[in-house]
Amino acid sequence: MTIHTCEALRACGPPLFTSSKLTPQRSRNCKFSVQNCIIDPNKSRKLVLEVKQKLEKEHSGLPVGKNGRDDENMILWFLKDRRFSVEEAVAKLTKAIRWRQEFGVSDLSEDAVKRIAETGKSYVHDFLDVNDRSVLIVVASKHLPAVHDRLENEKLCVFLIEKALSKLPAGKEQILGIFDLRGFGTENADLSFLTFLFDVFYYYYPKRLGEVLFVEAPFVFKPIWQVAKPLVKSYASLVKFCSVETVRKEYFTEETIPVNFRD
């Protein structure tokens, strides 16, 4: 399966999960990609400070520092995601910061996820793709929900998202996800984890997922995807089914192709 970037994700318009409350107003002048919403720098700075002050006043118990309530880069990103609505940005930031604290994101490390990572089910590729995006690879045939601990899977997922984002070069803000579906069977199906993955991106890492490729999906996967599509809602429009050959030729150079996609 491949997740292909859609205009809804890259535009400053509708959020990935739509609601009548968040219907976009085209009066705002936006270009593709959340970072390219056009707004006067002075105004955006004013809005960042307004959000920062509201968080301090209304949610003083939230942590501070990187990815905390006073992290201005994080505040600006969520403002862009919420089309510069202060109230919506505060609400989404509050939820995200609390989740990071409760989930223990800052405590995740190579050692903390070592056992589950050794299964080889998922990893961050050493090289960027041709669009200078970090690459997160999932080997679906190695994901065994009946065997592996759910919380360990979730911790590995979040740790790898953090790792992928840390590898992004300056000016790049989205990652590429690749699901290698060769050898996929019903024992690898896990709708709850798939929902967790996309919920994490929507609520806590908005607009960070640029594209997802589902590679060489077998016939058995198709009905499972039909059940999964409504669960991931608008993220389904990012999906692109493709071949190994497409991955090699369109997303990497000969030197940077992931090992499991080489001849």
Report mean pLDDT in 10-residue bins for the chain, 263 residues.
Answer: 37 35 38 52 92 96 96 95 95 97 96 97 98 97 96 98 97 95 96 91 93 95 90 84 96 96 87
Q: What is the pLDDT of residue 37?
A: 55
Q: What is the pLDDT of residue 41?
A: 83
Tokens representing 240 are 């692109």
Q: What is the pLDDT of residue 1?
A: 40
Q: What is the pLDDT of residue 15?
A: 36
Q: What is the pLDDT of residue 87?
A: 96
Strands 135-139 and 175-180: parallel
Q: What is the pLDDT of residue 38?
A: 58
Closest CA to 217 of 252, 262, 247: 247
CB atoms within 10 A of CB 198: 23
Q: What is the pLDDT of residue 20?
A: 35
Q: What is the pLDDT of residue 30?
A: 41
